[in-house]
Structure 1
Amino acid sequence: MADAFDRLGYGTYKLADGEECVSGVAHAIETGYRHVDTAQGYDNEASVSAGIDRTDVDREDLFVATKLSTDNLSYADATATARVSRDRLGVDSIDLLYVHWPINSYDPEGTLSALDDLVDDGVIDRIGLSNFRPDQLDEAIDRLDHDVFAHQVECHPLLQQETLRERAVEHDHWLVAYSPIARNRVAEVDALREIAASHDVTPAQVSLAWLLSKERVAPIPKAADFGHVQDNWAAREIDLTDDQIARIDALDRGERIVDFEEAPWNRA
């Protein structure tokens, strides 16, 4: 079990299984990242493990998270495939296992019972949820025997998720922010460009710094380019002023990057 959860994580979405993912994970860890995020649906868990093995960092010093695919959410499938993911990742137990989306085979009773039992059996250390509506999140928290450690959702200056950030503070879990630079749409926002120029950084770095300024928020930018990986890591050193944070707070447009008809928020 990893002892520490590093707020700035390394996302591996769309990092193809193979050398791109292996070298990307290894470089991220060598840069300083200690939190690596993957998923069954990314088909790269084995490559994440190989990337870790390419470094000199002890696995006990890393925090590795993965997610159950939407077809693996019945009790039997969740408990079986979590063990497969554990073996692919080459860990004794998975630091954090999420329900990737509460759709398709998601069943609150069966899925959440599986997560509780996976903790009890030592297959996983912590429970995560992802892409849940506030009401679904509340129901899951009430049903689970174990605490929710993290809720992963899209979050960036154009989609600020205030309600879910408030839930994270209230229930003492992390809001893990995917697409934290909105696939670089933040580079098109004048306010972010101006703030970035004042710090001699990029709008993407400002977006990450803004997220890191928020309580219980942990961004996980994905980057294949080594320079971008290092730039993202350097965002930890940006000290935004209160006025700059307030200016970014005013940018919320409710603008989603990840959206589709079956998404939970489209079926409320």
Structure 2
Amino acid sequence: MFGRGVEYKTADQIAVMRRAGAIVAEMLQTVREAAEPGATTRDLDAVARQVIARHGATSNFLGYHGFPAVICTSVNDEVVHGIPGDRELVAGDLVSVDAGAIVQNWHGDAAVTIGVGQLEAADAELSRVTEAALWAGIEAARPGARLGDIGHAITASVRAAGDYGIVEGFTGHGIGTAMHMDPDVPNTGRAGQGMKLKPGLVIAIEPMVSRGSPYTQILEDDWTAVTVDGSRAAHWEHTVAITADGPVVLTLPA
């Protein structure tokens, strides 16, 4: 558990989170357009910084436990928390980009997986399967449901698609006045189990899926998580508000 407490938001507070989420969506779209062969992962971070600055927002990644960038760039077998640097992208790379922003102390957080140039069919399918699992989890995030329903829906979606590894050791999370709050939101679970979902709760749902092992190890930079077998991985995430009318995705484009 993240230990920051479960926080319920008003409609006005969710509206501010939607503003933060729209900035995150713009960051990710701008990075997607810049992710071409020859660009470095630091170049992607630079364009994301420009979006934050243009909107007068604040990064919730930069300086977080010492993290040195405003996005995470995780390439191929890197699952999450890759640090932007001098690595040049090449055609066929699979890049997971995680981004966040703060507006008036309210946080947004989302991730996409981007193909650089032409992807192998299996990598394109991996990304599609992971995004579909995200949307299955979002669909399950309804008032009266339980946290286990989200993880169950994600797992069922991935398992129906084929033999993939659902990455262990990382989860989604509550989000609001902090980027990481209770509750944690696992990508596996039993239907009908766990905390009941109530209107006003906002969570980040973020499945991570590999073409092989579900297990990871952390590199010497103390951030980057890679698959233990070198298999490629994908990561998709949205910030989602639980409302009386169902789930509302806050990190879609404006």
TM-score (norm 2): 0.29
Give 1 or 2 for the bigger CA radius of gyration.
1
Q: Which has the higher contact order (CA 8 A, sep 6+)?
A: 2
Question: Given the two structures, how large is their TM-score scaled by the length of structure 1?
Answer: 0.27
More strand by share: 2
